[in-house]
Amino acid sequence: MNAETLPVARSVAELRRHVAAWRSRGEPVGLVPTMGALHKGHLALVEAAQTAGQRVVVSIFVNPRQFGPREDFASYPRPEADDLVKLTEAAADLAFIPTVDEMYPDGFATTISVGGPSEGLCGAQRPGHFDGVATVVAKLLIQAAPDAAYFGEKDYQQLMVVRRLTRDLNLPIEIVGVPTVREADGLALSSRNVYLSAEERRIAPNLYRIMCEAGSAIAGGEPPAPALQRAVATLGQQGFRVEYLELRDAAALAPLTEPPTKPARLLAAVHLGHTRLIDNIPVEIVWTR
């Protein structure tokens, strides 16, 4: 198979022509929004849409509006040819790769700002980030008008923001969350893992391990504060600089300080050298008060 076999739409009009052709034949459509530098985590989203029997559109767009001024927009990896090979091998139906001008033409003046789940966590650390995410995701959902759109639990706060936005704007699109794909040693796959040095790559899986230990302690009945303090200290000893490690309600993402009585999520952002890593795990309640 070669990369030419996967059609590429570079304009919204071309995207809509493909989607309209499928619709006229009654074929359902799934959208997988990405920033490219594709790995098995992205491909799990493609597979989820295929399992649902949908035509799969994968968008690749490094969205300038979700990067802060001191973040890695310019250096973010953009291996387009490799991505097209991967999507062809995965039997996706269409790549949508718009330019920045196509998405944000001169005079563009609209921002979608979601409250609630955008607050705190990455929302506090990266001002404007979720406005950028919500604006681009709303545009992609309206442009492709899919039956379903697929997002990774890896970016759990983003998934909750997208669910909120879709409900609040009455978009008739199912938002599907897909579990985080990890390396064998537990590190969550991320396009940013290529930034890690060999030594950092060796340390990185400790994030997940330490989070799992804290999550089990809390699930087993330990109050969150001491369990989290211990985890932050251990992360520091391992060489991570902790931005946040917080226990939140799994649905609304409201902060939890008491042992959880409903599904909870433990979420973290850390720095390892120059690389920012995020991860999150469910905290299942195995006891009752």
Closest residue to ligand AMP in the complex (CB): 152
Rule CB under 6 A: choose which of 9, 15, 43, 44 binds ligand AMP: 44
Q: Both tokens of residue 136?
A: 């681009």
Q: Both tokens of residue 34?
A: 């990405």
| Residue 123 sits in the site that holds ligand AMP (CB under 6 A) | no
Per CB under 6 A, the segment of 1-9, 78-86, 173-181, 194-202 that binds ligand AMP is 173-181
Could you tell me how many residues of this chain bind ligand AMP (CB under 6 A)? 17
Residue found by looking up tokens 């998405």 in the block: 103
Q: Where are the alpha helices (DSSP H) in the chain?
A: 12-24, 40-51, 80-89, 100-103, 122-125, 129-144, 156-168, 198-203, 206-219, 224-238
Rule CB under 6 A: choose which of 98, 132, 152, 224 binds ligand AMP: 152
Burial of 33 (0-12, 13-18, 19+ CB in 10 A): buried
Residues 45-84, one symbol each (x = binds ligand AMP by CB under 6 A, - = not), give x---------------------------------------
Per CB under 6 A, the segment of 51-59, 107-115, 149-157, 244-252 that binds ligand AMP is 149-157
**Min CB(39)–ligand AMP separation in Å:** 7
**Min CB(190)–ligand AMP separation in Å:** 5
Q: Both tokens of residue 173?
A: 């699109």
Rule CB under 6 A: choose which of 104, 151, 195, 208 binds ligand AMP: 151
Other C-beta atoms lying within 10 Å of the C-beta of residue 254: 12
Q: Would you say 251 and 167 are in contact if contact means Cβ atoms under 8 Å apart?
A: no
Beta bridge partners of 242: 270
Q: CA-CA distance, 240 to 277, in Å (whole number)?
A: 10
- What residues from 20 to 39 belong to the interface with ligand AMP (CB under 6 A)? 34-35
Which amino acids are annotated catalytic? 42
Residues that bind ligand AMP (CB under 6 A): 34-35, 41-42, 44-45, 151-152, 154-155, 178, 180-181, 188-191
